């Protein structure tokens, strides 16, 4: 499925271009996936889209899957933008979820895995 970019305003008031994925995520949630463990791989949009381009991913997923245990794998974490996103996400997670773990991986461009539970 192709998800084009569209304007997205985050809860903190910032504007981003992010994937138009809300409708399909809502469908998946209604199918009962909400009560499961979900792996979210965040490997876009590209940094050229704008500063902190991947920031909306966590907000969107946690708004749809309110009770799921969620593992978020953020790629390219050797880049400054992704390091900042990880710090921001950690602050958000600590307010809404139990942060079960954070693991950095030394892939080619780095990756971080965040494990959260409601």
Residues above pLDDT 70, as percent of the chain: 97
**Nearest CA to 71 among 44, 106, 36?**
36
pLDDT of residue 1: 63
pLDDT of residue 82: 95
- pLDDT per residue as tens digits for the range 72-87: 999 999 999 999 999 9
Range of the domain at 95: 5-117
Give the CA angle between residues 54, 55, 60 to the nearest 5°.
100
E-assigned strands of the chain?
A: 5-9, 15-19, 37-42, 69-75, 98-105, 111-117
| SS3 of residue 50 by DSSP | coil
Average pLDDT over every residue of 54-59: 96
- pLDDT per residue as tens digits for the range 9-33: 998 899 999 999 999 999 988 887 6
Residue whose structure tokens are 């400054």: 80
- Domain count for the chain: 1
Total-model pTM: 0.89
């Amino acid at each position: 499925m192709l998800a084009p970019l569209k304007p997205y305003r985050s809860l903190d008031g910032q504007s981003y271009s992010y994937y138009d994925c809300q409708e399909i995520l809502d469908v998946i949630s209604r199918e009962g996936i909400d009560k499961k463990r979900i792996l979210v791989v965040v490997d876009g949009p590209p940094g050229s889209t704008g500063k902190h381009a991947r920031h909306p991913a966590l907000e969107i997923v946690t708004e749809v899957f309110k009770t799921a245990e969620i593992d978020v794998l953020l790629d390219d974490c050797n880049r400054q933008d992704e390091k900042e996103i990880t710090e921001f996400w950690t602050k958000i997670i600590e307010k809404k979820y139990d942060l079960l773990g954070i693991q950095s991986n030394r892939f080619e461009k780095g990756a971080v895995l965040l494990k959260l539970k409601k």
